[in-house]
Amino acid sequence: MIAAFEYFAPKTVKEALSLLSKYKEEAKMIAGGQSMLVVMRQRLLTPEYVIDIKGLTTLEYIKYDDKQGLRIGALTIHRDIEKSPVIQKHFGVLSEMEGNLATIQTRNWGTIGGNLCHSDPAGDPATVFIALKAKFKLASSGKERIVEADEFSTDYLEADLKPGEMLAEIQVPTPAPHTGTAYEKLMVMKGDMGVVGAAVSITLDSKDSCQDARIALSNCSSVPLRAKKAEKVLIGKTINDGLLTKAGEVAATEATPPSDVHGSAEYRREMVKVFVKRVAKLALERAKAA
Ligand SMILES: Cc1cc2nc3c(=O)[nH]c(=O)nc-3n(C[C@H](O)[C@H](O)[C@H](O)COP(=O)(O)OP(=O)(O)OC[C@H]3O[C@@H](n4cnc5c(N)ncnc54)[C@H](O)[C@@H]3O)c2cc1C
């Protein structure tokens, strides 16, 4: 049974931040509750104060322009990201990722901010946002700061959120010309959390050489993992099949995956090789077509 708590439903972001600043570590925010209620039921979290932010509709938005890039409010539900025409047009990888995240019911209630702040290394969005070079805007009473997507998760289910802070916005820059991005995860059934997942972004120069690459892995460490050594395998080279294989092999050496009922660490490392190669190949095709 869930431990008793005092419940607040602030009407504005200011009010929510003021409650958070007042109760600090003793308070937890709840958005869609899709993860929060599970950890509260398991008594992994027993907050004295629960601040329900689901009603903060000013943080429910998707905005895009070529200069600023994409801005997603933290309270935006997964389903809105999946179905957004502007995201489908400019950041198709995000829409594809959302289409395989959980069930429609969970996507209709769970928020992007809740997913990122839950900081599950098996979560899909963080991995894709790392590949897209996203930044997260964190707000506290009277203050704001920006954190890079690949630095936000600090440990298993731990995020870089100071007492009194909340995630307000996800900021995704407009990709450089000739950039392709892709994400796939190994699912037992559609919508499952990935046994492993890989997100890859590749930018080509005018001679089709790899100018920049980002590789991120889900469920391969205690945090969504950026595979920096594997990125270096591709950067500055004309990518061929051998290099894609090598990038997968190097990424597997960077992974420190768990062993559980879904697969051993050894199996997951093998799957990293397969998925990094497969996803990088797709990202490369998209970069050539972009
Ligand atoms: C059946 C099922 C299947 C799932 N499958 C997948 C999957 O395939 N891939 C995947 O990535 N995820 C999956 N999930 C996880 C799901 O995506 C998350 O549970 C959901 O997105 C969390 O959002 P929420 O709004 O419900 O967050 P909540 O559960 O309300 O909150 C989660 C955590 O984030 C904190 N929080 C929420 N919003 C903020 C904020 N703005 N600022 C600061 N802290 C905040 C809360 O305090 C809490 O610690 C699945 C979940 C379920 C129930």
CATH classification at residue 281: 3.30.390.50
Instruction: Look at residue 1 and tell me if it is in a domain.
Output: no
DSSP label of 263: B
pLDDT above 90 for 258: yes
CATH code at position 13: 3.30.43.10
Provide the Cα torsion 36, 157, 88, 167; round to 10°. 70
Average confidence (pLDDT) over 160-172: 97
Q: Is 179 in the pocket of ligand 1 (CB under 6 A)?
A: no
Q: Choose the residue to mutate in 26, 29, 138 for probing ligand 1, maximizing ligand atoms within 8 Å of C-beta.
A: 29
The pLDDT confidence band at residue 203, using thresholds 50, 70 and 90, is very high
pLDDT above 90 for 147: yes
Same domain, 15 and 71: no
Same domain, 64 and 48: no
Q: Choose the residue to mutate in 26, 111, 195 for probing ligand 1, maximizing ligand atoms within 8 Å of C-beta.
A: 111
Percent of the chain with pLDDT over 70: 100
CATH code at position 65: 3.30.465.10
Instruction: Look at residue 81 and tell me if it is in a domain.
Output: yes
Same domain, 47 and 72: no
209-248 pLDDT, tens digit each: 999 999 999 999 999 999 999 999 999 999 999 999 999 9
pLDDT above 90 for 91: yes
Residue pointed to by tokens 């990888």: 93
Name the domain boundary from 155, 172, 189: 172
Ligand 1, atom 1, lies closest to the CA of: 102
Using alpha carbons, select from 288, 86, 130, 104 the residue that is nearest to residue 220. Answer: 130
25-61 pLDDT, tens digit each: 999 999 999 999 999 999 999 999 999 999 999 999 9
Q: Is 123 in the pocket of ligand 1 (CB under 6 A)?
A: yes
Same domain, 43 and 90: no
Q: Is 106 in the pocket of ligand 1 (CB under 6 A)?
A: yes
pLDDT above 90 for 185: yes
Question: What is the spatial distance between Cα 12 and Cα 7, in angstroms, rounded to a whole number?
Answer: 15
Do residues 166 and 202 make contact, with C-beta atoms less than 8 angstroms apart?
Answer: no
Same domain, 247 and 164: no
Give, in degrees to the nearest 5, the angle at Cα 116 between 111 and 117: 95
| Distance between Cα 213 and ligand 1 center (Å) | 28
Q: Is 73 in the pocket of ligand 1 (CB under 6 A)?
A: no
| Distance between Cα 81 and ligand 1 center (Å) | 15
Instruction: Look at residue 239 and tell me if it is in a domain.
Output: yes
Q: Is 131 in the pocket of ligand 1 (CB under 6 A)?
A: no
Same domain, 38 and 106: no
Quick one: which H or E segment has residue 70?
Answer: strand 69-73
Strands of the sheet with 197-204, listed across from one edge:
179-185, 197-204, 210-218, 225-226
DSSP label of 174: P
Same domain, 144 and 234: no
* Integer Rg of the chain from CA: 19
| Distance between Cα 76 and ligand 1 center (Å) | 12
What is the model's pLDDT at position 1? 83
Q: Is 79 in the pocket of ligand 1 (CB under 6 A)?
A: no
Q: Choose the residue to mutate in 2, 24, 36 for probing ligand 1, maximizing ligand atoms within 8 Å of C-beta.
A: 36
- For residue 126, which amino acid is it? A
Same domain, 167 and 192: no
- For residue 21, which amino acid is it? S
What is the model's pLDDT at position 142? 87
Average confidence (pLDDT) over 115-125: 98
Same domain, 201 and 241: yes
In sequence order, which ranges of 25-111 are alpha helices (DSSP H)? 36-41, 78-83, 85-90, 92-99, 104-109
Instruction: Look at residue 128 and tell me if it is in a domain.
Output: yes
Same domain, 117 and 200: no
Q: Is 32 in the pocket of ligand 1 (CB under 6 A)?
A: yes
Give Cα 153 to chain centroid, integer Å.
Answer: 10
- Beta strand pairing call for 49-52 and 27-30: parallel
Mean pLDDT, the chain, rounded, equals 97
Q: What is the largest distance, in Å, between two alpha-carbon atoms of the chain?
A: 62
What is the span of the domain harbouring residue 67? 60-172
Same domain, 196 and 284: yes
pLDDT above 90 for 63: yes
Same domain, 87 and 167: yes
Name the domain boundary from 152, 172, 192: 172
The pLDDT confidence band at residue 18, using thresholds 50, 70 and 90, is very high
Instruction: Look at residue 227 and tell me if it is in a domain.
Output: yes
Name the domain boundary from 172, 201, 236: 172
Instruction: Look at residue 263 and tell me if it is in a domain.
Output: yes
| Distance between Cα 206 and ligand 1 center (Å) | 41
Instruction: Look at residue 166 and tell me if it is in a domain.
Output: yes
Percent of the chain with pLDDT over 90: 98
| Distance between Cα 247 and ligand 1 center (Å) | 31
Instruction: Look at residue 34 and tell me if it is in a domain.
Output: yes
- When divided into structural domains, the chain yields a total of 3
Quick one: which H or E segment has residue 225?
Answer: strand 225-226
The pLDDT confidence band at residue 114, using thresholds 50, 70 and 90, is very high
pLDDT above 90 for 88: yes
